[in-house]
Amino acid sequence: MPNVLIVYGTSHGQTRKIARRIEEHLVARGIAVEAHDVRNLSRTFQVSQYDGVIVGGRIWMSKVPKNLREFVIFAGALPYTRYHFFLRWVMKRIATMAGRDTDTSRDYEYTDWDEVARFAEEFADQVQPRARVQPETRAAAVSPL
Ligand SMILES: Cc1cc2nc3c(=O)[nH]c(=O)nc-3n(C[C@H](O)[C@H](O)[C@H](O)COP(=O)(O)O)c2cc1C
Protein backbone atom coordinates (compact mmCIF):
# COMPACT_ATOMS: atom_id res chain seq x y z
CA MET A 1 0.00 0.00 0.00
CA PRO A 2 1.54 3.37 -0.97
CA ASN A 3 1.95 5.95 1.78
CA VAL A 4 1.77 9.73 1.74
CA LEU A 5 2.81 12.40 4.21
CA ILE A 6 0.76 15.60 4.49
CA VAL A 7 2.43 18.45 6.38
CA TYR A 8 0.52 21.66 7.02
CA GLY A 9 1.08 25.00 8.71
CA THR A 10 -2.05 26.68 10.06
CA SER A 11 -2.99 29.57 12.32
CA HIS A 12 -6.79 29.40 12.39
CA GLY A 13 -7.51 25.87 11.21
CA GLN A 14 -8.53 26.21 7.54
CA THR A 15 -5.37 24.61 6.21
CA ARG A 16 -5.83 21.70 8.66
CA LYS A 17 -9.40 21.29 7.36
CA ILE A 18 -8.13 21.14 3.78
CA ALA A 19 -5.39 18.68 4.75
CA ARG A 20 -8.04 16.44 6.35
CA ARG A 21 -10.20 16.59 3.20
CA ILE A 22 -7.24 15.59 1.03
CA GLU A 23 -6.48 12.78 3.49
CA GLU A 24 -10.07 11.47 3.11
CA HIS A 25 -9.73 11.39 -0.69
CA LEU A 26 -6.41 9.54 -0.56
CA VAL A 27 -7.56 7.03 2.07
CA ALA A 28 -10.64 6.30 -0.08
CA ARG A 29 -8.18 5.46 -2.88
CA GLY A 30 -6.40 2.90 -0.68
CA ILE A 31 -3.43 5.11 0.21
CA ALA A 32 -2.04 5.20 3.75
CA VAL A 33 -1.80 8.81 4.98
CA GLU A 34 0.00 10.50 7.83
CA ALA A 35 -1.06 14.13 8.36
CA HIS A 36 0.95 16.34 10.71
CA ASP A 37 0.95 19.95 11.80
CA VAL A 38 4.45 21.11 10.90
CA ARG A 39 4.91 22.21 14.54
CA ASN A 40 4.51 18.62 15.70
CA LEU A 41 6.76 17.02 13.14
CA SER A 42 9.61 15.09 14.70
CA ARG A 43 13.07 16.34 13.75
CA THR A 44 14.08 12.84 12.81
CA PHE A 45 11.38 12.19 10.24
CA GLN A 46 12.58 11.12 6.79
CA VAL A 47 10.78 12.27 3.66
CA SER A 48 12.30 9.34 1.79
CA GLN A 49 10.11 6.87 3.68
CA TYR A 50 6.99 8.15 1.86
CA ASP A 51 5.82 7.59 -1.72
CA GLY A 52 4.50 11.15 -1.85
CA VAL A 53 4.52 14.33 0.23
CA ILE A 54 1.98 17.19 0.25
CA VAL A 55 2.78 20.44 2.03
CA GLY A 56 0.14 23.09 2.72
CA GLY A 57 0.46 26.47 4.38
CA ARG A 58 -1.79 29.42 5.13
CA ILE A 59 -0.84 32.72 3.51
CA TRP A 60 -0.28 35.84 5.61
CA MET A 61 0.96 39.03 4.01
CA SER A 62 1.74 37.02 0.88
CA LYS A 63 3.91 34.64 2.89
CA VAL A 64 3.52 31.06 4.04
CA PRO A 65 4.83 30.10 7.50
CA LYS A 66 8.59 30.37 7.80
CA ASN A 67 9.01 26.64 8.22
CA LEU A 68 7.04 26.01 5.02
CA ARG A 69 8.48 28.81 2.94
CA GLU A 70 9.43 26.68 -0.04
CA PHE A 71 5.93 25.41 -0.64
CA VAL A 72 2.48 26.83 -1.30
CA ILE A 73 -0.97 25.29 -1.45
CA PHE A 74 -4.52 26.67 -1.11
CA ALA A 75 -6.42 27.88 1.96
CA GLY A 76 -9.07 30.59 2.03
CA ALA A 77 -11.21 31.76 4.90
CA LEU A 78 -12.05 34.80 6.99
CA PRO A 79 -12.93 33.23 10.33
CA TYR A 80 -13.77 36.51 12.07
CA THR A 81 -15.12 34.81 15.19
CA ARG A 82 -11.81 33.04 15.70
CA TYR A 83 -9.75 36.22 15.51
CA HIS A 84 -8.91 38.16 18.64
CA PHE A 85 -10.30 41.70 18.79
CA PHE A 86 -7.42 43.53 17.11
CA LEU A 87 -6.94 41.03 14.30
CA ARG A 88 -10.71 41.11 13.67
CA TRP A 89 -10.55 44.90 13.29
CA VAL A 90 -7.53 44.73 10.98
CA MET A 91 -9.04 41.99 8.81
CA LYS A 92 -12.32 43.86 8.52
CA ARG A 93 -10.44 46.94 7.25
CA ILE A 94 -8.50 44.83 4.73
CA ALA A 95 -11.69 43.08 3.63
CA THR A 96 -13.46 46.41 3.20
CA MET A 97 -10.65 47.75 1.01
CA ALA A 98 -10.62 44.53 -0.99
CA GLY A 99 -14.41 44.56 -1.40
CA ARG A 100 -14.74 41.28 0.52
CA ASP A 101 -17.17 40.14 3.23
CA THR A 102 -17.16 42.31 6.36
CA ASP A 103 -19.80 40.91 8.74
CA THR A 104 -17.54 40.10 11.68
CA SER A 105 -20.29 38.27 13.56
CA ARG A 106 -19.73 35.24 11.33
CA ASP A 107 -17.02 33.26 9.52
CA TYR A 108 -16.53 33.10 5.75
CA GLU A 109 -15.00 30.19 3.88
CA TYR A 110 -13.69 30.67 0.34
CA THR A 111 -11.94 27.36 -0.15
CA ASP A 112 -12.77 25.84 -3.51
CA TRP A 113 -13.53 22.31 -2.33
CA ASP A 114 -13.97 21.05 -5.91
CA GLU A 115 -10.43 22.23 -6.60
CA VAL A 116 -9.22 20.47 -3.43
CA ALA A 117 -10.92 17.26 -4.60
CA ARG A 118 -9.39 17.58 -8.07
CA PHE A 119 -5.95 18.11 -6.57
CA ALA A 120 -6.33 15.11 -4.22
CA GLU A 121 -7.54 12.80 -6.99
CA GLU A 122 -4.76 13.85 -9.36
CA PHE A 123 -2.22 13.34 -6.61
CA ALA A 124 -3.69 9.91 -5.86
CA ASP A 125 -3.39 9.05 -9.59
CA GLN A 126 0.35 9.76 -9.35
CA VAL A 127 0.89 7.69 -6.22
CA GLN A 128 -1.50 4.89 -7.05
CA PRO A 129 -2.90 4.73 -10.59
CA ARG A 130 -6.53 3.66 -10.67
CA ALA A 131 -7.08 -0.07 -11.19
CA ARG A 132 -8.37 -0.73 -14.70
CA VAL A 133 -11.86 -2.28 -14.74
CA GLN A 134 -11.52 -5.79 -16.14
CA PRO A 135 -14.09 -6.85 -18.80
CA GLU A 136 -15.34 -9.73 -16.55
CA THR A 137 -15.96 -7.28 -13.70
CA ARG A 138 -17.95 -5.00 -15.97
CA ALA A 139 -20.01 -7.94 -17.26
CA ALA A 140 -20.74 -9.02 -13.69
CA ALA A 141 -21.79 -5.51 -12.79
CA VAL A 142 -24.48 -5.39 -15.49
CA SER A 143 -25.66 -8.98 -15.03
CA PRO A 144 -29.44 -9.12 -14.39
CA LEU A 145 -28.78 -11.57 -11.53
C1 LIG B 1 -2.96 38.65 9.26
C2 LIG B 1 -3.48 37.94 8.03
C3 LIG B 1 -2.87 38.18 6.80
C4 LIG B 1 -3.32 37.53 5.63
N5 LIG B 1 -2.69 37.76 4.45
C6 LIG B 1 -3.12 37.12 3.32
C7 LIG B 1 -2.47 37.33 2.07
O8 LIG B 1 -1.49 38.08 1.96
N9 LIG B 1 -2.94 36.69 0.99
C10 LIG B 1 -4.02 35.84 1.07
O11 LIG B 1 -4.42 35.27 0.05
N12 LIG B 1 -4.65 35.61 2.25
C13 LIG B 1 -4.23 36.23 3.37
N14 LIG B 1 -4.87 36.00 4.56
C15 LIG B 1 -5.99 35.06 4.61
C16 LIG B 1 -5.53 33.69 5.10
O17 LIG B 1 -4.65 33.10 4.17
C18 LIG B 1 -6.75 32.80 5.29
O19 LIG B 1 -7.49 33.32 6.37
C20 LIG B 1 -6.40 31.35 5.51
O21 LIG B 1 -7.58 30.61 5.41
C22 LIG B 1 -5.74 31.12 6.85
O23 LIG B 1 -5.43 29.75 6.98
P24 LIG B 1 -5.46 29.02 8.41
O25 LIG B 1 -6.89 29.05 8.91
O26 LIG B 1 -5.00 27.63 8.12
O27 LIG B 1 -4.54 29.74 9.33
C28 LIG B 1 -4.43 36.64 5.72
C29 LIG B 1 -5.04 36.39 6.97
C30 LIG B 1 -4.58 37.03 8.12
C31 LIG B 1 -5.25 36.75 9.44
**Interacting residues of 10 by C-beta distance below 8 A, sequence separation 6+:** 16, 37, 57, 58, 75
- Count, residues in the chain: 145
> Higher-confidence residue: 136 or 79?
79
Domains, in order of start, for the chain? 1-75+112-131 (3.40.50.360), 77-110 (no CATH)
Atom 16 of ligand 1, residue of closest alpha carbon:
59
Looking at residues 60-70, what average pLDDT do you find?
65
Q: What is the pLDDT of residue 72?
A: 44
Question: In a mutational test of the pocket of ligand 1, which residue from 38, 55, 60, 84 has the highest number of ligand atoms less than 8 Å from its CB?
Answer: 60
Q: Over pLDDT 90: what percentage of the chain? A: 52
Query: What letter represents residue 133's amino acid?
Result: V
Q: Does the pLDDT of residue 92 top 90, yes or no?
A: yes
> Higher-confidence residue: 93 or 141?
93
Q: What is the pLDDT of residue 74?
A: 53
Q: Is the pTM of this model over 0.85?
A: no
Cα 73 to Cα 56, 87, 100, 119, 145: the distances in Å are 5, 23, 21, 10, 47
